[in-house]
Chain A
Amino acid sequence: MNSRFEQVFHNDHIPVKILGYALAFLMFVSFLLIAWYAPVEQTMGMVQKIFYYHVPSAWVAFLAFGVVFVCSILYLTTREKRWDLLAHSSVEIGVLFSLIVLITGPIWARPVWGVWWTWEPRLTTTLILFLIYVGYLLLRYFSGTGERTAKFAAVVGIIGFIDVPLVYLSINWWAAEAQVHPQRIGMGPRMQVAFFVSLFTFTVLYVYLLVRRIQLAHAKTSVDQLREKQNE
């Protein structure tokens, strides 16, 4: 705990609190934009609005897993615990947001495609990614805390991410006929505003959750240390 960087992860760090309030404000604004400013889509109607949450969630999930990949490599090369903590926290957030993608996807698909689920490349890739990182979390859960667990997790974090393009490529060929997912969406200018504000809000949400998760881990370590002291 020496650098300025580490200070951010203290519970009472003022800038983090400010970030929290800013995030709440952004959330409110982007909700207003999505609900009233962005026009209702002509063919799909109201249900299309879920898009403003669905796509940013997918972005956050991929961003989170990318961060895991980088932190895992940094952990294996430097053996500094903070990289492991960052990777672990990022996986939790990534799994959460891929779950949101997997829930909002079918809600949107049902009225538009007529089915809850199709084995369509993007949906399927997200599902596989979700399963890979659930495996990561289970591995951590079943092998306790300690340096070895951190190393195992880092290995899965690296291999899992290298696998992503292969998974996407193979599922893309496999489900070539089932290509119903829009590749690009034509958006009017007002839709674009709502979308990019939402994308930005979700990115801030990711950063905020990450910092808070690490603060929580630090708090837990302090509590454990206090408890040990008390037992002595």
Chain B
Amino acid sequence: MKQILAILWKDLQVEARSKQSLLSMLAFGLLILVIFNFAFEPTPELKRSITPGLLWITFLFSGILGLNRSFSLEKENMAIHGLLLAPIDRGLVYFGKFGANLLILLVTEILTLPFFLLFLNMPLFRHFWWLMLIILLGTAGFVALGTLFSAMATSTKMREVMLPLLLFPISTPILLAAVACVREILANEPFESYQNWFFLLIGFDIIFIVVPSLVFEYVVEE
């Protein structure tokens, strides 16, 4: 646990000093909102129906930006060698990176939410904590897989392109489940109407946190 926290803390410090990921993700998320507004010219009704999907499109696309940086940062000055030489299990390295990526993306998402309130009139505070829980679960699954694929993508020729090509199709269940949950919550529906999706989200998270932590060592070893 101490080792995981050490790696997590290292990544957060790097991010706190440069703020590169956070700022670029935030600006990118804002841009997506503006572009969607121009592309669809939404009426209040349309706004209500596209908000859940747009929320997750924004999160996933900005997430890709941050995840791409996660391991390319380690490649600079070959910092990854130091990380791998550490006498700890590779699975712990994975959890450390996963935790840092998750926290950075969650902070970005929370900072993006006010814009949804502003531009799309999203009823953010109606079921605030439920919404936060769904955002946490959806983001966790996406980042869990993304951290693994990011480690692979940085070693290929087409780094930035490779990550979304692998990550988006495989995280289809996350996107469907997370969008469905948010839609039902915003529509004031009871928990029963989306509990299937909710448990799917939890199941997905468990599977895709455990499996990547097991295979991570094959991805980073030289």
Where the two chains meet, the residues of A that have a C-beta atom closer than 8 Å to any C-beta of B are 76, 128, 131-132, 134-135, 138-139, 142-144, 148, 151-152, 154-156, 158-160, 162-163, 166-167, 169-171, 173-174
Contact = CB atoms under 8 A, between A and B. Distances in A.
B200 interface: yes
B215 A155 contact: yes
Contacts, number: 84
B169 A132 contact: yes
B155 to A, nearest CB: 6
Interface stretch (B88-96, B101-109, B111-119, B170-178): B170-178
Given A151-B218, A173-B197, 6 more contacts: A142-B158, A155-B219, A156-B166, A160-B170, A166-B204, A170-B176
Contacts of B157: 142-144
Nearest to B157: A142
A41 B203 CA distance: 43
B218 A76 contact: yes
Interface size class of chain B, counting residues whose CB lies under 8 Å from the partner chain: 20 to 34
Contacts of B168: 131
Nearest to A170: B173
Contacts of A162: 207, 211
Contact of A174 (B165, B169, B176, B212): B176
Residue from B176, B197, B204 having most chain A Cβ neighbours under 10 A: B176
Contact of B215 (A76, A148, A170): A76
B180 interface: yes
B124 interface: no
B162 interface: yes
Given A135-B169, A139-B156, A143-B156, A170 B211 contact: no
A142 B156 CA distance: 6
Interface in B182-212: 196-197, 200, 203-204, 207-208, 211-212
B148 to A, nearest CB: 7
A192 B148 CA distance: 45
Contact of A169 (B148, B200, B212, B221): B200
Interface string B138-161: 000000010010001001111000
Contacts of B207: 162, 166
A168 B156 CA distance: 30
A139 B173 contact: no
- Of A143, A151, A156, A159, most B-chain CB atoms within 10 Å: A159
Interface of B: 145, 148, 152, 155-158, 162, 165-166, 168-170, 172-173, 176-177, 180, 196-197, 200, 203-204, 207-208, 211-212, 215, 218-219, 221-222
Given A138-B165, A159-B212, A154 B173 contact: no
B162 A159 contact: no
**Which secondary structure dominates where chain B touches chain A?**
helix
Contacts of A171: 172, 176
Contacts of A144: 157
B215 A128 contact: no
21 contacts: A76-B215, A131-B168, A131-B169, A132-B169, A138-B158, A139-B165, A142-B158, A143-B157, A144-B157, A152-B156, A154-B218, A158-B211, A159-B148, A159-B208, A159-B212, A163-B170, A163-B173, A166-B173, A167-B173, A170-B172, A170-B173
Contacts of A132: 169-170
A173 B172 CA distance: 13
B172 A151 contact: no
Contacts of B145: 159
A138 to B, nearest CB: 6
Contacts of B162: 138-139, 142
Contacts of A142: 156-158, 162
Contacts of B170: 132, 135, 159-160, 163
A63 B157 CA distance: 31
B151 to A, nearest CB: 9
B184 to A, nearest CB: 12
A155 B150 CA distance: 13
Contacts of A154: 218
